Chain A
Amino acid sequence: MVKKLLKDFKNGLWRENPIIVLVIGMCPTLAVTNTVENGLAMGIATSFVLLSSEIVISMFKKYIPNNVRIPSFILIIATFVTFTDYFLKAFFPDIAASLSLFIPLIVVNCLILGRQEAFASKNPTHRAIADALGMGLGFTWVLVLLSAVREFFGMGSIFGFELLGSWYEPMVIMVLPAGAFITLGILVGLMNVIKRRGN
């Protein structure tokens, strides 16, 4: 039992990692990873929505008619996103302002809808919780890694702390859109190398 839950949890961390293996949920991944703070906040917000909607959907899966399941899932997700949005605006206005459009866009993050369809609507609640935690954490660590690389090269700092002195000429391209694409491309390539070595 515990072993099975652990397996569901570990699935999202590496073997079926949403970003580097399944390549879903790309828009927030690329858009908000210009600083570590933004990347971490986005990861936590997405994980929260994923966890709460997986719990609700796995509990009510028997009552959701099969034909209208996708619209029902989206409505449940949209409700939790509205909640998250208002929560962030009330308690963390700075983060809400810098993530702006990408908080409401969690509604259409393929990762969340994909997990409802592939996992929560077929499995009991405790397994859905393990899956949501694993996937959420798997999403968050890639976001944090990506934003750390971009912030380090683009601004010479991590989490806003100046790491490199004034001698460092920041590579502005890294915090711009082009840098996001290139960094993620190289990161996925590196993961491919690690995976091949592992086999």
Chain B
Amino acid sequence: MEELRVVILVFISTVLINNFILVKFLGICPFLGVSKQVETAFSMGMATTFVMTLTAAATWLINTYILEALNLPFLRYVSFIIVIASLVQFVEMFIKKSSPVLYKALGIFLPLITTNCAILGLALLIPLNGYNFITSVVFGLGAGIGFTLAIVLMAGLRERLEFSDVPKTLQGVPITLIIAGLMAMAFMGFSGLISI
């Protein structure tokens, strides 16, 4: 029972309280780059969630049974990035086969998931937090859902922004950053929701 409680708390806290984008600043590039339309943002979020969950599982196994067992912590960054790059390649092949339309919509941002710092950040946070296997996978899933939540909300706001009168100086990147700041403020309201 205790185990289940921890897993649920980890999940809620990763989605809302320690949101990867708005609180931890991980994954800002796709957050600013792919948040123009709700639909694309949602697919991007789903692809990232999938890669994150697999990454959490794969890097936990590698870290525990290879890197720590053989005392090779200095190979951590190099080996993690290789695992992530191969997983992204795998997801890319899968999407290309199953949904060519989605493949086209995501375009360049699909291979760029490799350099999404949220993924490597996730892989590095797991040994730092000392999670076990199940908790790590849930942590990866929660991080992905939190990412999707933030990017879809942002896309919704930006679709509305098209029809509003933004001062010329702030058009484009500046107004997007300021909106992100306001969203981060709103997410601060979740802190203190639960404590582990």
Q: CB within 8 Å of B: which residues of A?
A: 23-24, 26-27, 30-31, 71, 74-75, 78-79, 81-82, 85-86, 101, 104-105, 107-110, 113, 173, 176-182, 184-186, 188-189, 192-193
Most chain-A CB neighbours within 10 Å: which of B26, B77, B82? B77
Docked complex Cα distance between A180 and B28 (Å): 12
A186-B120 contact in complex given A27-B28, A74-B85, C-beta closer than 8 Å: no
In the complex, chain B residues whose CB is within 8 Å of the CB of A24: 29
Give the residues in chain B near A107, CB-CB below 8 Å.
77, 81, 120
Say yes or no for B66: interface residue by CB 8 A criterion: no
Pair count A-B, CB < 8 A: 111
Are B184 and A185 in contact, with the CB atoms below 8 A?
no
B100 within 8 A of partner (CB): no
Decide: A23 and B32 in contact? CB cutoff 8 A.
yes
Q: Shortest CB–CB separation between residue B71 and chain A, in angstroms? A: 15
Q: Known contacts being A101-B121, A178-B184, is A26 close to B175, with CB within 8 Å?
A: no
Chain B residues engaging chain A, CB cutoff 8 angstroms: 22-29, 32, 74, 76-78, 81-82, 85, 112, 114-117, 119-121, 124-125, 128, 169-170, 173-178, 180-182, 184-185, 188
Instruction: Select one of B24, B78, B85, B175 contacting A185, CB under 8 A.
Output: B175
CA distance A68 to B79 in the complex (A): 16
B29 to chain A, nearest CB (A): 6
How far, in Å, is B108 (CB) from chain A's closest CB? 12
Question: From B19, which residue of chain A is reached at the shortest CB distance?
Answer: A177
Pick the residue among A74, A101, A108, A181 that contacts B181 (CB under 8 A).
A181
The distance in angstroms between the C-alpha atoms of A176 and B25, with both chains bound, is 11
Chain A min CB distance to B155 (Å): 16
Q: Is the CB of A177 within 8 A of B22?
A: yes
Report whether B78 and A79 are in contact in the complex, using a CB–CB cutoff of 8 Å. Answer: yes
**A183–chain B nearest beta-carbon distance, Å:** 8
How far, in angstroms, from A71 to B82 measured CA to CA in the complex?
8
Other A-B pairs beyond A177-B188, A185-B177, 9, CB < 8 Å: A26-B28, A27-B28, A104-B76, A178-B185, A181-B177, A181-B181, A182-B177, A185-B175, A192-B169
Residue of B nearest to A32 (CB): B25
Let me know if B116 and A180 touch, CB within 8 A.
no
B93 to chain A, nearest CB (A): 16
Q: Name the B residues within 8 Å of A182 (CB-CB).
A: 177-178, 181-182
B177 touches A110 (CB 8 A): no
Using Cβ atoms and an 8 Å threshold, which residues of chain A touch B24? 31
Contacts A26-B28, A27-B25, A185-B174 given; does A81 touch B77 at CB 8 Å: yes
Please give me the residue from chain A that is nearest to B123 by CB atom.
Answer: A104
In the bound complex, residues from chain A placing their C-beta under 8 Å from that of B82 are: 71, 75
Bound-complex Cα distance A176 to B74 (A): 32
**Cβ-neighbour of A105 out of B117, B169, B170, B184 (below 8 A):** B117
